[in-house]
Every structure is written in structure tokens, then in C-alpha cells.
Amino acid sequence: GAGVSQSPSNKVTEKGKDVELRCDPISGHTALYWYRQSLGQGLEFLIYFQGNSAPDKSGLPSDRFSAERTGGSVSTLTIQRTQQEDSAVYLCASSPYLGGAYEQYFGPGTRLTVT
Amino acid sequence: KQEVTQIPAALSVPEGENLVLNCSFTDSAIYNLQWFRQDPGKGLTSLLLIQSSQREQTSGRLNASLDKSSGRSTLYIAASQPGDSATYLCAGRGQTGANNLFFGTGTRLTVIP
């Protein structure tokens, strides 16, 4: 079946502009996560959604970052007034259930470059 | 906060060798531990998932072990092949909070033909 998809695959933007990154999780997966992978660093958690519950935003690095998940499926990560330190690969993952017993399945990521 | 460390950061082996990748974590209260591989410019591919109640999982030439008491996990790759060349990441899932994964920085494996 179809895996997690993300778009765009690459995005180059100028400092100060806003960007939107999209994630389509695996159909039927109720939990959705966003992570960021910066050059030379490990993956860091940003935000997660579970069904219709309020998202956990504890990993968001600043209030320039926000995310939505419409209809319990597609999610959009928005970065406002981008800075050069926002340059990274943004990865989305989904899993069937938040309960912890299930694997997280990752998309191919969006490589963001802020010039 | 969970800290995950992977040693070594990079490893080169000749084709056919067996090898072990190491992962250690600071908080033994993990729910499960997942091993991934990441190819250059690509996303993560899940390899093995070990629940906290399990000690090991096997898939083909891969075997992952988990020792919560010592805060360690290993990934054993038998009869390595050039196609195994990739970065291997381990990640622990906490028992509280967001249930997100805490990742190590990975081991970059090169299998030389």
C-alpha cells in the first residue's frame, strides 16, 4: 500500500518568507508526527497529532512554527519568517495508534534551504 | 529527557563480515526501541521494533537486542553486503509525554565489496 508522502521534496526560500510543508500519512493511521533533521544533528521531535485530540507542541522550537491536521489526515507544517537555522530536512511519520506498541513509518522528507 | 548515543559514528567493513552496531540510552523507562536505516537523501526505513517486554527481534540477517537494565541495544548484521551501506539510527520511545521517538545520531556503515 501507499506509504507516507511529503511535498515538496525540496524547497528553497529566502530568509523572512513563510513556507508550508505537507504530509499525507498512511490511510487509517491516527497518529502523526513531525521531526526535523539538521545537518550533523540527530532527528528532533517537533509536534504530534492523535485523532481529534489537541496536538502536543512541546517540541516546536519557536512560535514561528505551527502545524495543522485537517480531518484527521493531511497535515501542514508552517514556518513563518524563515531563518537560516531553519534549514533542515523535515520528516513526517505516522503510526496506527498512539499506544506505543506500533512502529512509526516515515515519509521521504522535505529538504528546506533558507538562503 | 532521554539521551540516545550510538557508537561508532562510522564503520567500514569488508563484504561478508558480521558486525554489531551499538545504541545506549539514559532512561530505562522506554516503551519500545526501533532501528531504522537511512540512505543518503532519503527518509527512514524501519528495520526492527523491540517492545520493552522483549529481549530481541530478528528479521533476515538482522538481529536486534534490548537490555533495559543496562540501557543498551545492539543491531547485529550477519554476512554484510554492499547494499547494507547506509546510516543506521536507533530510537527509543518514552513511556510518558508525547510518545515521540528520541533518536541517536546514527552510525554510518560502509560495506566494501
What does the pLDDT average to over A61-86?
Answer: 94
pLDDT tens for each residue of B15-40 = 999 999 999 998 877 888 999 999 98
- DSSP conformational letter for A18: -
pLDDT at A98: 56
Q: Which residue has the higher pLDDT, B16 or A103?
A: B16
pLDDT at A53: 82
pLDDT at B43: 87
Is pLDDT of A100 > 80? no
Q: Which of A6, A41, A43, A56 to mutate to test the interface with B (most CBs of B within 10 A)?
A: A43
Q: Which of residues 41-80 of B touch A (CB under 8 A)?
A: 41-46, 49, 51
Is pLDDT of A65 > 80? yes
Distance, in Å, from the CA atom of A11 to the CA atom of A90, rounded to the nearest integer, reads 11
pLDDT at B101: 87
Q: Which of B35, B100, B105 to mutate to test the interface with A (most CBs of A within 10 A)?
A: B100
Cβ of B95 under 8 Å from any chain A Cβ? yes
Give the N- to C-terminal CA distance of chain B in Å, as an integer: 40
Q: Are the beta carbons of A105 and B46 separated by less than 8 Å? A: yes
Question: Grid coordinates representing B11?
Answer: 564503520
pLDDT at B96: 67
What does the pLDDT average to over A44-67?
Answer: 90
Is pLDDT of A1 > 60? no
Which residues, in sequence order, are CB contacts of A105 under 8 Å at separation 6+?
A: A3, A4, A26, A29, A93, A94, A95, B46
Which residues, in sequence order, are CB contacts of B32 under 8 Å at separation 6+?
A: A100, A101, B49, B50, B51, B52, B92, B93
Sites in chain B below the pLDDT cut of 50: none
